[in-house]
Amino acid sequence: MRRGADARRRGRASTLTGASLGLDEDTLARLRAWLPPAGAPPHVELAKHAGAVVVAARQRADGEVVWASVAVAVPKVVQFWKGVAALLALVFLALVGAAVDAVRVVRRAAASLESSAAALAVELGAPVEEPGVRELSGVAAGLRSMASELASAAGEREALARDQRLGGSR
């Protein structure tokens, strides 16, 4: 822990300098700007390379600034966990991408089946496109089978209607 005072009064040089705190002058200027009025103790944490410096500074009633600083070392395990978190974030993004792609493929296959069903509504002999999703292949096969059965039933109905006309006209 280091301590010091800004001895502005009586013409002495200030000891609250970037070099005395181990800080650059921009950070020191921010520290001075953050000083509260006399009597209110702040707690300021400033980043410093891989670790941090915690600085407590206070302006006394006579205008002098008193301060103390403590360098806080970052444990090596923190870097490991940062790497783990970054890796998990990348895996999460890959999973989101895969899910979005799967939804896109399924929607395209469903749209293909819908257009095939609409074509079958107009003409039972219309082809049914094979969807790009294996799970929807059963639906396409069912549509084909249904269209075939309906076409067969329509043919039988026409044959019965023809037979009834021929039988009724005799």
Shared domain check, 126 and 92: yes
Nearest to 44 by CA among 59, 26, 32: 32
The count of other CB atoms within 10 Å of the CB of residue 14 is 14
pLDDT, tens digit (0-9, with 9 covering 90-100), for 97-118: 999 999 999 999 999 999 999 9
Q: Which two tokens stand for residue 65?
A: 């600034």
Shared domain check, 46 and 108: no
Handedness of CA 83, 87, 92, 93 (dihedral sign): positive
* Residue where a domain terminates, one of 43, 74, 105: 74
CB 113 within 8 A of CB 131: yes
Distance, in Å, from the CA atom of 3 to the CA atom of 18, rounded to the nearest integer, reads 13
Residue predicted with more confidence, 107 or 38: 107
pLDDT band at 71 (very low <50, low <70, confident <90, very high): confident
DSSP 11: G
pLDDT band at 134 (very low <50, low <70, confident <90, very high): confident
pTM score, two decimals?
0.51
Distance, in Å, from the CA atom of 73 to the CA atom of 91, rounded to the nearest integer, reads 30
Shared domain check, 34 and 110: no
Residue 158 belongs to domain spanning = 78-169
Q: Which helix (H) or strand (E) covers residue 67, if one does?
A: strand 65-72
Shared domain check, 95 and 42: no
Best mean pLDDT range from 1-5, 15-19, 35-39, 91-95: 91-95
**Considering its fold, how many domains does the chain have in total?**
2
